[in-house]
Amino acid sequence: MAKRLTQREHYDTLINQYDTWMFDCDGVLWRGDHLIDGALEALSILRERGKRIIFVTNNASKSRRSYKGKFDQLGVEARVEEIFGSAYASAVYISSVMKIPKDKKVYVIGMTGIEEELREEGVSFIGGTDPADNTLEPFSLANFTLDPDVSAVLCGLDVQINYTKLSKAFQYLTRNPGCQFLATNEDSTYPSADGLLPGAGAISAPLRFATEREPISIGKPAKTMLDCIQAKIHFDPKRTIMIGDRLNTDILFGHAGGLATLLVMTGITLEADITGPNASAIVPDYVTASIGDLRAVKP
Amino acid sequence: MAKRLTQREHYDTLINQYDTWMFDCDGVLWRGDHLIDGALEALSILRERGKRIIFVTNNASKSRRSYKGKFDQLGVEARVEEIFGSAYASAVYISSVMKIPKDKKVYVIGMTGIEEELREEGVSFIGGTDPADNTLEPFSLANFTLDPDVSAVLCGLDVQINYTKLSKAFQYLTRNPGCQFLATNEDSTYPSADGLLPGAGAISAPLRFATEREPISIGKPAKTMLDCIQAKIHFDPKRTIMIGDRLNTDILFGHAGGLATLLVMTGITLEADITGPNASAIVPDYVTASIGDLRAVKP
């Protein structure tokens, strides 16, 4: 059962116990364009006590560099090196784990964030924001030339999704021998400022269904994201805690990596999801109402 | 085990045994724009012997009326009343089984075929080919007004699929109480003239994944399609045979309805799918190379 944190000594003990604090962002530090009350002070307390802070987001629409703009805009102190997004992790996976040869390329379904990260990792790609693919004009196989150098399809959230992109990706996945199928993340929904919309997992769903293939998913809860962080930053999993608002991404991610987990109730997860007859089987180590509760340790 | 038909007496017996012959079209009578060799003669033989012929297609992009144009163009004799498409069956289901009230409407992801059939059944709808929804402009919930009268989402093959359509359908399915989720069919792929493309099931996949709901699927292999045919035409299932090229739609459809089934090898199914170690668990009653084989009964 999760331990409920409510008193000053609970938070003091927690802070003493963990050196590395991994934060999900949306639903934990902010919601849409609004900071969670007390989030800035909570981060300050951790930094003052010498904790290492890492931001781990499945949002693949932005590169780390442009995601940093969101932090700046909300007044949250962060360095680009502290930010790990699923677009970045996907690019690192393709260059360092998959070790894609220089003459091969990736067919992208996704937005500028993925393109920027692939470019930074030196990975060639086609598709993405290319105007030729961002069209509702009829797609015809007769006018399509299969590029034999495409050795992976990478699919993330793409609000310009269309039949041309799906059809091209389908061709590569079914006709290019050995073509890998990667997804930045498989979140079913995406929390926009005004409510939930279909997420990255919904964008790759047509390809999963039509090809009968499951992609390698990079973002939370996959361990791939943690491997990517570990390749850049040294941390001891036993002294690391993951803070998030989603059981099936953040908390599962912590469990998969052997990290402690803290659930906050300022985002997706509701009380009914963790207590009562329909409670999830995914149980965090700790629960607190809001990250702002850490302020209790201040005199 | 399926009975292999090879000799004149096999086909003679088959023709004597069944009064109603239900045909899948693409992959059985034609492929793309090319008639299967001997298909016309086979249909003539059946008509000469007084058999009832029905065409059962999952293609929802065309109404029966415009699908009839395809028959005319290829010189295949057919009456509109003999053609049952999944767009038509969906419209009949909504008007006659779901009995949608006159002041309620359907949000459509699909093409003109669905719109024509809904109109003919007197069902109100929005979405579909409406230019407002056929756009790659960014979708924002802030500019979206939920229509409380939408009591069903109907999803079929739509080559103009985009994030606006998926987002609107997602809102109706998650925010309109009791909103039904219907799919014309769930074929994973669609056989275009130049090769396979993602099918209707791939178009509804994002909604299935994001809403965690399964639609009521109308087309083959669902029994709903057969109920729709039965409401219009009297036939004895025991004296009826379904002829198709797909095990998981046509043959399964026949099984579900208690019909005999004949698999032809001129479409999707390959010899390896029905024999050897990877053979499908779906076994037709009869197999023949091509519908043209029926010509063997001619002197």
Residue to substitute from A162, A171, A197, A268, interface B, most B β-carbons within 10 A: A197
Profile chain A (299 residues) by mean pLDDT over runs of 10 residues: 94 97 96 93 97 96 93 96 96 94 97 97 98 96 97 98 98 96 95 90 98 97 93 94 96 97 94 90 97 94
Task: Answer yes or no: is pLDDT of B50 > 90.
Answer: yes
Which whole number is the average pLDDT over B232-249?
A: 95
Query: Closest Cα of chain A to B159: distance in Å?
Result: 5
pLDDT band for B193, please (50, 70, 90 cuts). Answer: confident
Q: Which residue of A has its CA nearest to B171?
A: A197
Query: Closest Cα of chain B to A200: distance in Å?
Result: 9
Whole-number pLDDT of residue A1: 84
Please tell me which of the candidates B141, B170, B205 has its beta carbon nearest to residue A206. Answer: B205
Which residues of chain B lie closer than 8 angstroms to A140, CB-CB? 192, 194
Whole-number pLDDT of residue B33: 86
Please tell me which of the candidates B141, B197, B205 has its beta carbon nearest to residue A205. Answer: B205
Is residue A12 among the annotated active site residues? no
Q: From CA A247, how far away is CA A253, in angstroms rounded?
A: 9
Task: Answer yes or no: is pLDDT of B21 > 90.
Answer: yes
* Residue located via tokens 């003919």: B120
CB-based contact, A195 to chain B, within 8 Å: yes
Which whole number is the average pLDDT over B133-160?
A: 97
ipTM over 0.90: yes
Q: Is the Cβ pair A197, B159 closer than 8 Å?
A: no
Query: Closest Cα of chain B to A226: distance in Å?
Result: 25
Contacts of B90 (CB under 8 A, 6+ apart): B60, B114, B117, B118, B154, B156, B182, B184, B218, B219
Q: 3-class SS at B194? A: coil
Which whole number is the average pLDDT over B50-56?
A: 97
From the list A187, A188, A143, the residue with the least C-alpha distance to A168 is A143
Task: Answer yes or no: is pLDDT of B284 > 90.
Answer: yes
Q: Is the Cβ pair B206, A202 closer than 8 Å?
A: yes
Whole-number pLDDT of residue A276: 86
Whole-number pLDDT of residue A21: 98
Whole-number pLDDT of residue B288: 97
Interface of A with B in 257-276 (CB under 8 A): none
Q: What DSSP designation does B17 have?
A: H
Query: Closest Cα of chain B to A21: distance in Å?
Result: 30
End-to-end CA distance of chain A: 30
Q: Is the Cβ pair B161, A162 closer than 8 Å?
A: yes
Which residues of chain A lie closer than 8 angstroms to B209, CB-CB? 188, 201-202, 205
pTM, two decimals, is 0.93
Task: Answer yes or no: is pLDDT of B32 > 90.
Answer: no
